Structure 1
Amino acid sequence: MSSEKKTKVLIVEDESIVAKDIQNILLKNNFEVLGVANNAETTLNYISQEVPDVILMDIMIKGNINGIELSHKIKEEYDIPIIFLTAYSDTPTLEKAKVVEPYAYINKPFKNADILSAIEISLFRHKKDLERKKEKELLYSIVEKQSKDTSTDIIFVKSGGKMVKIKYEDIYIVEALKDYVTFHTTHGRYIVHATMKFIEEKLGYQNFIRAHRSFIVRIDKIQSIENQELVLENFPKRIPIGGNYKDEIYKRLNLL
């Protein structure tokens, strides 16, 4: 029976005592330590030999490149979750660190649990990020293929572990919610990770119209306009008309 694969961690820390403490914590908890580096050159050499699952990165390291700048260089070539370690929690340092979008931020001095929980959460977040990225790429590829076939007015979305076909004619509205959009259709709701701009372009402008920054509506589902809201046929929710979209809606609906 094969043993469980160990998580590979690269430690980038210029304080040897701190680096040794972290290494001991990881080894005692069944992690594999790929190495300990204290500067940018050594770090990049380690990564070129074997890509770690996660990097524990001290912000202040030896050499002309600090941990934040090194993280920028790493992200240009690799998709590795980075956790910052630092004794500095001042606002300017935090603002610079945020640009790199680290998966976690650990202040020194730290406890064993701080290291372990940060790694666990970062790996989980990274896994979910990869899943969302794959879903988006799959959706984009399907829609891109459909856009080349003008006779096919359908879109596929992921639901319950499978790809579900939605006919354009069955869509009432598309609703935005942060980084996701919800397709409200005659046979259910489907949530996908995509932008409204992307969906608007792929649905086309002939049968759909942007009514609000958060809503795209199928034109032939509109029954009436009441109090600056769109009333749709057999759809309970009223859709607000955004000020920036009012003129275009009235024009498209041939309002007299």
Structure 2
Amino acid sequence: MRVVICEDEILIAEHLSTIVKSFGYDVVGIAHNKKDMKELLKRTDPQIALIDIRMEGRYDGIEIGEHILLNHNFPLIYITAHSDTEIIQKALKTKPAGYIIKPFKAMDIFTAINIAMENFSAARTETFIMIKDGYKSVKLYHYEILFLKSDNNYVEVYTDKTLYIERISLEGMLNTINSDRFMKVHRSFAVNLDHIKELKSRELVVGKHLIPVSRKYIKEFKEKIGLE
């Protein structure tokens, strides 16, 4: 399991890293502030993040949580020495997979990580649609879908391996999927935000595909992923 850590106190970060490694997990990076954490997320492929809520006197951990929620698809666990109700309420909006209270023990870390990953895996496999494939219907999980393309009265559903075609409107398919991880970016295209690799001017790199983003949707899209 690949773990990233964001903790401004170097000794605590190193102690946390040692604990995580003792369970056989890989620590793919440690950041000590918000800026470094965002850079770390660009060049690593973590499966879970451990984030201190308060760093350098500010609640930057929550901002990082918001960034992960909008731009990535893995669980995060907050580490905190604070129990302020207002701060906890703000943190909850980023949908964390758990909390670890300082001072922590090794078993606290182990338990939190394993519960978070178990719940994340279960949630990921539970969200699916049934879609026609020839004369049969197959279960297609949301995370498998890269993007949707409208073609008159049909929608082409793209995955890494297969193209499915369903007789339905693009809006109808989005209603069927019913997930805030899917967003319309063009009158003929909707994308799974979890599969976006890059934004090039007015095009998105999704898997091996280039998806156009129209002027009508560009502002809303940038706000959604935290670019504005």
TM-score scaled by length of structure 2: 0.56
Say which of 100, 115, 119 aligns to 2:109: 115
Report which of the two structures shows the higher radius of gyration computed on alpha carbons.
1
Tell me which residue corresponds to 2:98.
104
Gaps of 5+ in 2: 140-174, 178-228
- CA deviation map 1:56-106 (0-9, x unaligned): 010012487611111111221111100000001121111111111100111
- Distance (whole Å) between structure 2 residues aligned to residue 102 and residue 65 of structure 1: 15
Tell me which residue corresponds to 2:62.
68
CA contact (8 A) 2:53 2:59 kept: no
One-letter code of the match for 1:98?
Answer: L
- Correspondence 1:146-225 to 2 at 5 A: none
- Correspondence 1:223-238 to 2 at 5 A: none
The change in CA–CA distance for 1:76 and 1:63 in structure 2 (over 3 A counts) is farther
One-letter code of the match for 2:82?
Answer: Y
Question: How far off is 1:47 after superposition?
Answer: 1.2
**Structure 2 SS opposite 1:9:** strand
Matched, 1:81 2:75: yes
One-letter code of the match for 1:114?
Answer: D
Say which of 24, 32, 37 aligns to 2:26: 32
- Distance (whole Å) between structure 1 residues aligned to residue 47 and residue 57 of structure 2: 24
Q: Which has the higher contact order (CA 8 A, sep 6+)?
A: 2
Tell me which residue corresponds to 1:183.
none
**Structure 1 SS opposite 2:78:** strand
CA contact (8 A) 1:86 1:107 kept: yes
- Distance (whole Å) between structure 2 residues aligned to residue 30 and residue 198 of structure 1: 40
- Distance (whole Å) between structure 1 residues aligned to residue 12 and residue 58 of structure 2: 21
CA RMSD of the aligned region, Å?
2.6
Among the aligned pairs, what percent are the same residue?
31
Tell me which residue corresponds to 1:167.
none
- CA deviation map 1:91-136 (0-9, x unaligned): 1111111111100111111111000110001111111111012xx2
CA contact (8 A) 1:39 1:63 kept: no
Say how many residue pairs are matched.
142
Gaps of 5+ in 1: 1-6, 146-151, 159-196, 200-256
